[in-house]
Structure 1
């Protein structure tokens, strides 16, 4: 009861601040900090995704624009963003004013630029908020997520990446054709920059809604923990790492990183970072990815590198968290689908023995699924936003 009371008091505080910002809007929107503002956001505590890459591009190619990035001063990414330009502290009154006044609001998550994405999405603030709303997406949409339908959200630009995704957004999500644009993910520009690979395997599972806020004890009793703990502690994995001279990095999803201390390093070749590293660097430098359902497998496959799906709980995942979409792992996936730890290790052994080559079956699927690689995703997205503003007379 107390928890619910505090939550509702918090919501009331968000709304009061927002109402005050709306009242000040006619006076503030012409002041230099807010006039013509482009507001960029991810989760408010990070800068590694598409919004950061677009912000970086805008600051370098169009420094004359008024642009600000929403990020907590305590974030490990804060200094990197501050070097590029203006930052805004989430939850500050400057945030509320920017939220209301910005000509363009850009985020990797729906209403990620708002003081509380859940509340302001529920209240459909996107329909009454001035300015253009740009949804860059966090990854390629492949599950069926009804909360992203045109009936639930309103955006002026919905960025997608591949033909199947584009078709789904038009036909099943019912977004207008003028809104959905296959511009690709901004972070993909960096994937093809010069980089070196390590003899490294990356294990990167996605989050679980039903575990996100549980206790450490409940988490350690879950099939999620038990499955990955068993994999990391398996003697065959240790033997393969030693035999083929590989290291392994285990990285939890940001929504699950507070559970990192539950996992212990079981071998000197296995690394479990306590601080969130640069995810894209991990993907670029690793030779093979083991994941469950995380959309980072698209980034990895775009580079035509091998991966293994470890889907020990697919029935629960696709009933409790997401509904299956157009992408079928068995038919469309870019690597073997494994249900048990032994299957994962057998698949890993095959890849290691084959010098980490991508089999022709999966290479063909990658070539069919993705458009030809490019490095102008940021440039095309920037142009699309400029066109939006031109159409509205900005």
Structure 2
């Protein structure tokens, strides 16, 4: 007798193009058919999943439940079996996994489901098994909300106050949304239905979504959602009572407070030496702030956001003895000063500045360098006499608490016993160079000093941080200029593409990224040139592609290298890349550079940022778009011919930087804070 019962679950797989049937996510879904073939179906959606497409799917699916999975996301082998075993034993409105943006841990059950988890949880529709009929009812009632808000709308509409996740994980495999936010398409007039709830969990989810909406609005500039709706949402769900959870989003936190109470227009943003930085909000027609940041349109109203600097004595409660002032003691000989680069890797600006500082200012006896104890750099720095402390340990945080200054090439959300980077001194040395428009990111960070590499970059930074910008150059550049070099090889440093993260090996090999790079490695003209001139092409792969290294056709003359960026650049006679800012280091020491941008037409459409540099007119080396042209440039040796235009561009790019006083300039500024 044929089983005519309806299928329990439909798995909808969303992909940007034809589904990658060799991807781990797809194989794990179809692999579950060995045990559960009669319980679930698979449906493929080519292109973005919208609210309208969700409505169309719900109308035609015959399954009791539906779960949406994006091809680029990650699921463990137990994901579908866990969902199916749970759903076939009961009838529920929804069932959801424990959600992550990084790797799914082995012990999902050990994840603490606290405020931190709930605020950080991505609340898009993916990974959650919805009751198909109930989801259809929700879309019919609230079809004007964005797909990314459907999960929130579903829980509000059906008054689902609390959900205990299943003991299985689901990973979005990326936290890009935290950088670019979420958008609201044409015709969207509200974020979620205004249905009150006392659920702290759900209110935290809505707060996070509002923060991401405002973050996306900063770059998009306008939206049909009006201020009245946002104000009603904040008040209906009492989000002001939770806004402290958004401490990592200080601009959006202040924005939410202003929307709730527009009578207060100025919000303390960052303590500085002698004065403070404030955010100022105003409707159109109100006085403009000292430093304009954004002008966005919400419905029929335009909001201006700016920055101003005011004396520290103007700050409410500045003389309150119950609040410790981390600026009360000037940087001096008894000060604790904390330096660090990445947790697992040094050899960046903080290391080079620390080495200079301790050599030239030995009178400062409490300078520490923080690093992971298991880092391969630990023993090397220990031999050099660095005063090391294991990073992010209790010892590290106690040093942070008593320190008068933190100096780093990275920005982390340091918080300990009331001390943060918002109320204490921090010198940001940068890791790269701001070749792309990172304005939104820069504005959202706290620093007393932001080190720039030349007047071009400094002018860009001063538009949002005029007081904090220091045009000194990066400390590692001064060190790099002193490294002896024999110019032994050519160096290629390709960067990464965000849309390649979860591809199977076979699909990766079909990508333009792989084909363009591998075609270079197997080019007979290039290989013959390297053999004939006894040269080598060393390839410094991006960390995200190192695991794919074996897919490329390397040879005796074209080899991957695992030496440090500094040593690789210092020993190269020519360096080329696609878009990496790392080649700027080579240009600084006079090494010829070039760009091979085979995907220039669509590259920035796939990235969470846009270029602010016109490589063809402002780049420090020639730009090539075709394989044959870049090979000809290398084989013909044209990179070795002096180029007056590139010399002029380099001079403009590094204007204002004294190569012999980079470290000294930074130290003078940091000791004056």
Q: Tell me what 2:618 maps to.
A: 332
Q: Tell me what 1:97 maps to.
A: 398
How far, CA to CA, are the matches of 1:162 and 1:106 in structure 2? 20
Farther off after superposition, 323-332 or 199-208: 323-332
In 2 relative to 1, CA 78–358 (structure 1 residues): closer, same or farther, beyond 3 Å? farther
SS at match of 1:241: helix
Match of 2:649 among 359, 365, 368: 365
Farther off after superposition, 243-252 or 323-332: 323-332
Residue deviations 1:171-215 (CA, integer Å, cap 9, x gap)? 2xx11x321110110011123215122331000122333335655
How far, CA to CA, are the matches of 2:493 and 2:402 in structure 1? 38
In 2 relative to 1, CA 102–316 (structure 1 residues): closer, same or farther, beyond 3 Å? farther
Q: Tell me what 2:529 maps to.
A: 240
CA contact (8 A) 2:483 2:570 kept: no
Residue deviations 1:148-175 (CA, integer Å, cap 9, x gap)? 333x11211111021111111122xx11
Higher fraction of strand: 2
Q: Tell me what 2:546 maps to.
A: 257
SS at match of 1:237: helix
1:130-141 matches, cutoff 5 A = 130-141=423-434
Match of 2:559 among 264, 271, 274: 271
Alpha-carbon distance, 1:330 to partner: 0.7
SS at match of 1:73: coil
Q: Tell me what 1:55 maps to.
A: 354
SS at match of 1:159: strand
SS at match of 1:44: coil
Match of 1:107 among 380, 385, 408: 408
Q: Tell me what 1:382 maps to.
A: 667
Q: Tell me what 2:147 maps to.
A: none
How far, CA to CA, are the matches of 1:195 and 1:97 in structure 2? 40
1:77 aligns with 2:377: yes
CA RMSD of aligned residues (A): 3.1
Q: Tell me what 1:156 maps to.
A: 448
CA contact (8 A) 2:526 2:631 kept: yes
Higher fraction of helix: 1
In 2 relative to 1, CA 376–215 (structure 1 residues): closer, same or farther, beyond 3 Å? farther
CA contact (8 A) 2:593 2:639 kept: no
Alpha-carbon distance, 1:356 to partner: 1.7
Using structure 2 for the length normalisation, give the TM-score. Answer: 0.48
CA contact (8 A) 2:345 2:376 kept: yes
CA contact (8 A) 1:199 1:245 kept: no
Q: Tell me what 1:167 maps to.
A: 459
* Greater relative contact order structure (CA < 8 Å, 6+ sep): 1
CA contact (8 A) 2:484 2:570 kept: yes
CA contact (8 A) 2:633 2:639 kept: no
Structure 2: 5+ residue runs without aligned partners? 1-96, 118-244, 246-322
Using structure 1 for the length normalisation, give the TM-score. Answer: 0.80
1:285-324 matches, cutoff 5 A = 285-324=571-610
Match of 1:346 among 632, 635, 648: 632
Farther off after superposition, 134-143 or 249-258: 249-258
1:203-242 matches, cutoff 5 A = 203-212=492-501, 216-242=505-531
CA contact (8 A) 1:304 1:366 kept: no
CA contact (8 A) 1:247 1:269 kept: yes
Aligned residues: 354
How far, CA to CA, are the matches of 1:155 and 1:9 in structure 2? 32
Alpha-carbon distance, 1:291 to partner: 0.4
How far, CA to CA, are the matches of 2:644 and 2:365 in structure 1? 46
Alpha-carbon distance, 1:89 to partner: 2.3
Q: Tell me what 2:477 maps to.
A: 188
Residue deviations 1:104-152 (CA, integer Å, cap 9, x gap)? 12221222x849xxxx9xxx9532xx531111011221210134333x1
In 2 relative to 1, CA 193–260 (structure 1 residues): closer, same or farther, beyond 3 Å? same
Structure 1: 5+ residue runs without aligned partners? 20-24, 389-394
SS at match of 2:352: helix
In 2 relative to 1, CA 167–355 (structure 1 residues): closer, same or farther, beyond 3 Å? closer
Query: Could you say which structure has the larger radius of gyration?
Result: 2
How far, CA to CA, are the matches of 2:531 and 2:663 in structure 1? 41
SS at match of 1:308: strand
CA contact (8 A) 1:162 1:184 kept: yes
SS at match of 1:201: strand
